[in-house]
Amino acid sequence: MRRKGILVFIILIFVAEGLLCFFFASKMGDISHDNVLINECLKSVGDNYGNEAEYKTLTDYVVIDNDGNVMFRTSAGLSESIQEAVRHGDTILDVESGRTVVGKAIFYNDTPKIIASYRNSILITVVTASAIQTVSVIFYYMYLQKTIIRPFVKFNEFAVRIAGGDLDVPLTVDREHIFGSFTEAFDLMRSELKKARASEKKANDDKKEMVAKLSHDIKTPVASVKSTSEIGYEVTKEEKTKQYFNLINVKADQITVLVDNLFNSSVSDVTEITVNPVPCDASSVNDMIRSADYLGKAGEFSIPDVRIFADKLRLQQAFDNIFMNSYKYADTPISVDISVDGSYLAVRIADKGPGVSSEELPLLKEKYKRGSNVEGKDGAGLGLFLTDYFITNMDGRLTVENAEPGLAVTFYLRTVN
């Protein structure tokens, strides 16, 4: 409401200034001699020539004779010669007495003085109106600064704090400015975001606590399984059965490590799982592949006599992920080809399944991405993502391609001397 009042006041000042200037300008156009007064004065001089007491002085004038001598003047400072009167723009008329021209009457032209007066009035009007307008504009700017600019800057700073996660400092409620009705709503948003963040933190803490408890609970039966398998391994006499018990023992150890990783991943992001590669013999890859291929779908393969830079635990997890995917989505025989490719040991694992579309292929290594052939099958879309993460952190790389038929995954493990 105050803002509208200031605007109306400024507009009224502009209108008043325009009207006054128009008034003075129009008055300047009407400036002229009053011929009636001039004629009355001229007649009184002619009728009473020589008797100055009878001359009418309705306007300023000077009377001179035919020789140029001043015979009468109404006031000082008037033109007293024909030449001076011409320069000044005065009105010059003959004075007749008894039909004889006895002299000249010079009537003073006050038009320049009147025009100067009107100009001064216009100047004063413009200066006064401009001063009032300037003061009004300054006041209006101060009003806008207080009610719009400063609150807007304050809102911007508030938004930056919110984006930075600072939800503790409230936004001061001020209903005096134009954003007053929004201030409370913005602060309410901050309060609700703070509550939501607190709820999210509590939910995450509860989840971490639950995972920690489950980790502990899982370790107990796994330890029992491991103990039993170790006893079975010692008791049995058949070599084949010993292999089965040994596989159970190895997997139990792996489950224990994975449960520890599960706990760590509940505290941090999955990409913060540590990978500690060291130089090791490539022959260990054989045991890892056989351990991952517990259904025995892989054929025979040979491993070159080289050393690789790898984390055995993470590499075992990587092979487990690939074979598990093949079992789940293809369920076909698996071919394993291992060769040296430059400074890498290339381990190619391929199945005979349907593969994936060319559009989906580049996305398979992303987190939570799965192909369109996964409907009705369990999975979180983390297998290839984690495998790629592990291999990359071993200074290697992972490629995925359609094998026509099937899907082929190639591990490139860096070789060392």
Contact 364/371 with Cβ under 8 angstroms?
yes
Q: Is residue 44 part of a domain?
A: yes
Rounded to whole angstroms, the maximal C-alpha distance in the chain is 171
Q: How far apart are CA 268 and CA 258, in angstroms?
A: 15
Average pLDDT over residues 262-280: 71
Which of 61, 91, 108 delimits the end of a domain? 108
Q: Is residue 381 part of a domain?
A: yes
As a whole number, the mean pLDDT across the chain is 81
Residue 220 Cα to chain centre, angstroms: 53
Q: Is residue 247 part of a domain?
A: no
Count other C-beta atoms under 10 Å from residue 100's C-beta: 10
Indicate the helix (H) or strand (E) that contains 142. Answer: helix 111-144
Q: Is residue 261 part of a domain?
A: no
- Residue 280: phi and psi, rounded to 5, are -155, 165
Q: Is residue 24 part of a domain?
A: no
Q: Which domain CATH number covers 395? A: 3.30.565.10
Read off the pTM: 0.44
Which of 108, 139, 173 delimits the end of a domain? 108
Q: Is residue 345 part of a domain?
A: yes
Which of 86, 108, 130 delimits the end of a domain? 108
Indicate the helix (H) or strand (E) that contains 345. Answer: strand 344-350
Q: Is residue 337 part of a domain?
A: yes
Q: Which of 83, 85, 91 is nearest to 35 (CA)?
A: 91
Query: Percentage of the chain surpassing pLDDT 90?
Result: 26
Residue span of the structural domain in which 45 resides: 35-108
Residue-wise pLDDT for 374-404, tens only, equals 666 655 677 788 899 999 999 999 999 998 8
Indicate the helix (H) or strand (E) that contains 410. Answer: strand 407-416
Residue-wise pLDDT for 166-205, tens only, equals 776 676 656 555 566 667 676 777 788 888 878 887 777 6
How many residues comprise the chain?
A: 417
Q: Is residue 25 part of a domain?
A: no
When divided into structural domains, the chain yields a total of 2
